[in-house]
Amino acid sequence: MHVQKLESEVIHQYLRPKKKFPNVWCAGCGNGIVMGALIRAIDSLDLDKNEVVVVSGIGCSSRMPVYLDFCTLHTTHGRAIAFATGVKVAKPRLKVIVITGDGDCLAIGGNHFIHACRRNIDITTILINNKIYGMTGGQFSPTTPGGKIGTTAPYGNYEKQFDPVKLAAGAGASYVARGTVYHAQQLEKLIAGGISKKGFAVIDCISNCHTYYGRLNKEGDAVAMIDWIKKHALNVRSAEGLPPEKLEGKFLTGLIHEHDGSEFCDEYQKLVESKGGTLK
């Protein structure tokens, strides 16, 4: 007989309660929402905790593995996907998940990100996108919109921003989605879909950083910024057939791109076997 578990019971069984709580995140930060969505996604898939590896680099979002009761790696800035690739190639049976931010993943880690997409290695990357470097001082990042202020762009950012979804799809990822910290239930399903999909999966999660981005750009507190996310998000299915003027100022959420392609570890296994070896 299936017994329905309380939300708190689900969450706490995947946490390290004696490890650095209360957490380091600012009150109202979206990282906690993403962590809850990740936990619920893993629980819904009934994965063995010992078969899950969560890897991160440096940044606010990258502190997440510290709190999670899985096999975890807290690595160097921008190198989370490189470490995760090593884990996956060594132990292909493991479910490997990368937690990263827009600076960590797309700036110093950009080359690793692009080539993980190209290789289509079976790793799920959750990119918490708050448009700024939160932990290291509010510098502008590759996703900071034009004209917006950062501590390293006091007169406004004049560089063009990356669209992680288009970048990942164009580089070859099998599963590319976008969620938000407001749409927590949808985010949970998108993460579960990414973990289940064979190949490289990217979930671009639009989040808030009211401490730096919101304050510097006078966009308000956490509630105001999450409300902005709510009002400007548009589900990709709802956007079908809408005229351009209805899409102006909006960003799409949901499963944006999906395809079935050869996966890196499988191809590597074929190479190893062709030379008389095997992968564990």
Quick one: tokens of 39?
């936990």
The band of 5, judged by pLDDT with boundaries at 50, 70 and 90, is: low
pLDDT on residue 276 = 83
Domain-embedded: residue 11: no
- Is residue 24 within 8 A of residue 58, CB to CB? The reply is no
Q: Let me know the angle formed at the C-alpha of 228 by 223 and 229, rounded to the nearest 5 degrees.
A: 100
Domain-embedded: residue 71: yes
CB burial class (10 A; 0-12, 13-18, 19+) of residue 265? buried
pLDDT on residue 241 = 87
pLDDT on residue 279 = 59
Which CATH number do you get for residue 128?
3.40.50.970
Average pLDDT, the chain: 94
Domain-embedded: residue 75: yes
The band of 280, judged by pLDDT with boundaries at 50, 70 and 90, is: low
Domain-embedded: residue 134: yes
The band of 69, judged by pLDDT with boundaries at 50, 70 and 90, is: very high
Residues whose CB is less than 8 angstroms from the CB of residue 209 and which lie 6 or more positions away in sequence, other chains included: 29, 60, 130, 131, 132, 134, 225
Nearest-CA neighbor of 144 among 80, 212, 64?
Answer: 212
Domain that holds residue 181: 30-274
Domain-embedded: residue 10: no
In 118-228 the beta strands, taken as DSSP E runs, fall at 123-129, 175-180, 201-206
Domain-embedded: residue 142: yes
Count of the separate structural domains present in the chain: 1
Give pLDDT tens digits for 233-246: 999 999 998 999 98
Q: Under DSSP, is residue 168 helix (H, G, I), strand (E, B) or coil?
A: helix
Domain-embedded: residue 6: no
The band of 262, judged by pLDDT with boundaries at 50, 70 and 90, is: very high
Average pLDDT over residues 225-237: 97
Residues of the chain above pLDDT 70, percent? 96
State yes or no: pLDDT of 2 exceeds 80. no
pLDDT on residue 117 = 98
Highest mean pLDDT of the ranges 1-10, 12-21, 212-221: 212-221
State yes or no: pLDDT of 1 exceeds 70. no
Q: Phi/psi at 99 (nearest 5 deg)?
A: -110, 125
Q: Let me know the angle formed at the C-alpha of 214 by 177 and 226, rounded to the nearest 5 degrees.
A: 45
Give pLDDT tens digits for 147-168: 999 999 999 999 999 999 999 9
Of 277 and 224, more confident: 224
Rg of the chain, C-alpha, whole Å: 19
Q: Under DSSP, is residue 87 helix (H, G, I), strand (E, B) or coil?
A: helix
Domain-embedded: residue 16: no
